Amino acid sequence: MRLVKVILMILWMASFPLLGRAAEVAHAEGAKHEEGIPLHPVDIANIGGFPITNSMVVTWIVALGLIIFARLATSHLKEVPSGMQNFAEWLVEGLYGFLGNIIGDQMVKKTFWFFGTIFIFIVSCNWFGLVPGVGTVGWKEAGSSEIIPWFRGANADLNMTFAMSMVFFGCWIVWALQANGVGGVLTHIFGAKGNTSGALKVLMTVVFLIVGVLEVVSILFRPVSLSFRLFGNVYAGESMLEAMSKIVPSLAWLIPIPFYFLELLVGVVQALVFMLLTSVFTLLITSHEEGHGSEEHHH
């Protein structure tokens, strides 16, 4: 199943927690303990020199839950669906139709396996991070009152969001080359647009070469912007919930409730934004050259 393959690919990339190591080194060298939720995940185990962080544990739990759900929902397919099969078909058909209206039938057939999976995975991770106990249940360090949490919201870890962005970036390159070829991609980025002649054509060629360089920088920066956008919103939401619970300690169970339901909505919105941005980026690199090619064929 492609859902399983995409999730496993993301988990494999997220299992190299490089982005959090610098912060941990600085903390170990004498930096003061951060108030609130730390920016980097916490190591809770070490297997053969490989660190296991609390956010990695959450991604494994969510991934295992989705894989089991997918297997159960599709193990005994019925013509008239019910139960888990009915919910799974409703979810997949709804996402498929929604994406089809945006990127077109041909493109959605080719790429839905990725965009559908990424949406479901992000929503699941965001909502799991809101389960009571995530970020608060753990053990205390010896001689300290600090709690080391066993779990941390997966998308509140920059390693996770960056891994998803890099998986998309790899898929984006493959889809762009499949649709346009190497020459088509270079023409799309650096080629002069519009029908010009003479000195104006030379000027436009130079202008679009410069624009192409800026476009390359923008393309290379996309994984960073995608990962920081998702990480920033999820991390800010968790920090807000913690801050609300500390305003009046005696009402710590009551004050965060409205914000809790807001975060449920934000979890869906952020997954939708990530899916839409990545799908539109894909559409832009593929549809332009198709139209351009058909125009040349017509002439």
pLDDT digits (tens, 9 = 90+) for 174-187: 999 999 999 989 98
pLDDT at 49 over 80: yes
Determine the pLDDT at residue 13: 67
Determine the pLDDT at residue 24: 46
Task: State how far the alpha carbon of 170 is from the alpha carbons of 18, 60, 140, 180, 208, in Å.
Answer: 19, 22, 41, 16, 25
Q: Which of 111-115, 166-170, 253-257 is least confident?
A: 253-257
Determine the pLDDT at residue 35: 62
Task: State how far the alpha carbon of 186 is from the alpha carbons of 181, 190, 191, 202, in Å.
Answer: 9, 6, 7, 18
Determine the pLDDT at residue 281: 94
pLDDT at 246 over 70: yes
Q: To the nearest whole percent, how much of the chain has pLDDT over 70?
A: 83
pLDDT digits (tens, 9 = 90+) for 65-99: 999 999 999 988 888 888 999 999 999 999 999 99
Report the SS3 class of residue 136. coil
pLDDT category of residue 12 using cuts at 50, 70 and 90: low
Cβ contact 134:188 at 8 Å: no
Q: To the nearest whole percent, how much of the chain has pLDDT over 90?
A: 53
pLDDT category of residue 162 using cuts at 50, 70 and 90: very high
Determine the pLDDT at residue 248: 85
Average pLDDT score over residue span 13-31: 49
Letter for the amino acid at 169?
F
Q: Where are the domains of the chain?
A: 2-298
Q: Which of 32-36, 54-58, 143-147 is least confident?
A: 32-36
Q: Which of 44-48, 236-240, 285-289 is least confident?
A: 285-289
265 vs 138, more confident: 265
Mean residue pLDDT of the chain comes to 84
pLDDT digits (tens, 9 = 90+) for 101-128: 999 999 999 999 999 999 999 999 999 9
Q: Which of 22-26, 63-67, 245-249 is least confident?
A: 22-26
Determine the pLDDT at residue 16: 64
Cβ contact 279:287 at 8 Å: no
Determine the pLDDT at residue 17: 59
Average pLDDT score over residue span 37-41: 84
pLDDT category of residue 237 using cuts at 50, 70 and 90: very high
Find tokens 């997949």 and name the residue. 92
Determine the pLDDT at residue 157: 93
Cβ contact 87:32 at 8 Å: no
As beta bridge partners, residue 50 has: 47
pLDDT category of residue 15 using cuts at 50, 70 and 90: low
